[in-house]
Structures are given as C-alpha cells and as structure tokens.
Amino acid sequence: MKKTSILRRLKWSFIAMGFGMGAIFPVFASFFVNFREGMLSWFVLGCVVAGITVGFVNYWVAQVVLLRQLSKMAILAGL
C-alpha cells in the first residue's frame, strides 16, 4: 500500500475542514439572519467557497513555514 505524504494529508485535511466549516456556518447564521428569497443558496455557496479558500491558504502558509525551515535544517545537516 502506497503511503501518502504528510503534506498531501495536511492539504486535504485543511480543505475538508474548510468545507465542513463553510457547510455548517449557514446553519448557525440562519438563527440570526433573515434571508431574502433566493439568497440562501448564494450565501451557502459563498460560505463553502470561502471555507475551501481558507483551507488552501492555510495549507500554503503551513507549506511555506514548514518547508522553508526544513530546507534550512537540511542544509545545516548536510543533506
């Protein structure tokens, strides 16, 4: 069985968490917001897209922070 890389698992975890938060947020927002007719679906879509975008941005930040430090450590270690 092929083992997936840690960064790939991290990326899909961030994206899944963003999707989940984007899908759940409209439920809680509906307690405080009265949506005009036809706007709920656009709001849900916007929340899901925003959540996925946050997942990608989190992955990018983690990759930049982790890989820069790991590459510096590898150079110091002579790898």
CA distance 32 to 50: 20
1 domain-assigned = no
Task: State pTM to two decimals.
Answer: 0.78
Domain interval for residue 40: 6-77
CA distance 77 to 47: 44
- For 27-74, how does the pLDDT look when each residue is reduced to its tens digit (9 = 90+)? 999 999 998 999 999 999 999 999 999 999 999 999 888 888 888 888
72 domain-assigned = yes
14 domain-assigned = yes
At residue 34, φ and ψ (nearest 5 deg) are -100, 115
Mean pLDDT of 1-21: 89
> Collapsing DSSP states into helix, strand and coil, what is residue 43?
helix
Structural domain count of the chain:
1
CA distance 11 to 77: 27
47 domain-assigned = yes
pLDDT, residue 72, reads 86
Q: Identify which has the larger pLDDT, 41 or 7.
A: 41
49 domain-assigned = yes
pLDDT, residue 3, reads 80
Cβ-contact 13, 58 below 8 angstroms? no
